[in-house]
Amino acid sequence: GQFPGKAVVAALMRAPLQIPHVVVGIAFLQLFYAIDDIVGLALHGTILGMFIGHLFLATPFVIGTVGALLQRFNTRLEEAALTLGANPWRVLRRVTLPVILPGIFTGGLYAFIVSFVDVPISMFLSRPGLVTYPVELFYAMEHDFNPSSLASATLVTLLALTLLLIAKRLVGLEALLRAGGT
């Protein structure tokens, strides 16, 4: 839709894409220490803190894919469902969500991959007992070269490629094009 300030909101939603991940990690680290000083809520080194940092990183990918589908969404489908007697909740569940579901799935998968391989944000927000796989791999490659690290990275890469192929098979480009109305 159109609303005042749409360009500003769109720019804010794309901001995490334009900020280097090292800067984001440092900013969240400082923010979490400030929150701890002011409120007494310690987020640094917790799963919640890590989740907030990765949510900031991954949100633009989901918003971008769903937004692209919604721009091409035919609103007459919703109007027709409402005219035929469906309530707004049923229209959302039976008309809108099935059309944008490929975008949600694709954006979620893309966000997961970007978040999964992130090292800088995870490095700043983790603690010794809570370290993600990419950070552990980074430390292993930095301190001692072990071929098992490379083997595990290869297995994770193969797993990610397999998941992408399964996603392509389940959702596929054809479904995305059909959902867009072309």
Confidence bin at 173 (pLDDT 50/70/90): low
Q: Is the pLDDT of residue 102 over 90?
A: no
Q: Is the pLDDT of residue 115 over 70?
A: yes
Q: CA 182, CA 163: separation in Å to the nearest integer?
A: 27
Q: For 54-71, how does the pLDDT look when each residue is reduced to its tens digit (9 = 90+)? A: 999 999 988 888 888 888
Q: CA 9, CA 129: separation in Å to the nearest integer?
A: 37
Q: CA 11, CA 5: separation in Å to the nearest integer?
A: 10
Cα–Cα distances (Å) from 55 to 16, 47, 69, 108, in that order, read 10, 12, 21, 11
**What's residue 35's pLDDT?**
93
Backbone angle region of 144, left / alpha / beta, with phi > 0 → left and psi within -120 to 50 → alpha: beta
* Single pTM value for the model: 0.74
Residue 128 CB contacts under 8 Å (≥ 6 apart), including other chains: none
Question: What's at 154, amino acid-wise?
Answer: T
**What's residue 174's pLDDT?**
58
Contact by Cβ (8 Å): 54, 121:
yes
pLDDT averaged over the chain? Answer: 84
Contact by Cβ (8 Å): 135, 123:
yes
Please compute the mean of the pLDDT values over residues 87-116 and round it to a whole number: 86
Residue 127 bridge partners (DSSP): 130
Range list of H helices, 19-132: 21-38, 47-71, 76-83, 88-91, 97-116, 120-125
